[in-house]
Amino acid sequence: MNYILTLLLFLVGVFGIFTQRNIIKIIISVSIAESAANMFLVLVGYRSGGIAPVITGRYGPEEFSLLSVDPFPQVMVITSIVIGLSVIALMVVIALRLYHIHGTYNIDEIIINYRENKK
């Protein structure tokens, strides 16, 4: 059920990317899709009643491997969040430069401006 909900959130992001005409709204949709992917990884790594994967000496090796959560999804999620932040910062900078040139955030008006300047 949770997996289906994250898939729905991802589809909301994809729908926004393909239907919105404002650059800022497209960037927000990209961010929604990325957070859906991150949420899926968090749900994959969930284990009810699990402990943090840090060896403290309280548990023996077998008991520790039974109790602790898998550290791989957590590592993957934190890297994916950082990379997503940098990509979104880059897209915002590109949108600002486009706004300085054209004076609008609308893709259709940017395309019309570009075609008129070409002729």
Partner 1 sequence: MNVILPLLVALPLGAGFIIALLPKKHTKAAAVISVTASIIILVGSAALFGYEGIYEIGGWNAPVGISLSIDAFSWIMLMSISTLTLFVLLFSADYMKTYTSRSRFYVLFLMMVAGMNGTVIAGDIFNRFVYVEMAAIASYILVGFGCGSKELAASLKYAVLGALASSVTVLGIGLFSPR
Chain contacts with partner 1 (rule: CB under 8 A) = 10, 13-14, 17, 23, 26-27, 30, 33-34, 36-38, 40-41, 44-45, 70, 72-73, 75-76, 79-80, 83-84, 86-88, 90-91, 94-95, 97-98, 101-102, 110-111, 113-114, 117
Q: How far is the CB of 30 from partner 1 (least distance, A)?
A: 5
Q: Which residues pair with 88 in a beta bridge?
A: none
Q: Which of 72, 29, 83, 76 is nearest to 47 (CA)?
A: 72
Nearer to partner 1, 42 or 59 (CB): 42
CB of 105 to partner 1, least distance (A): 11
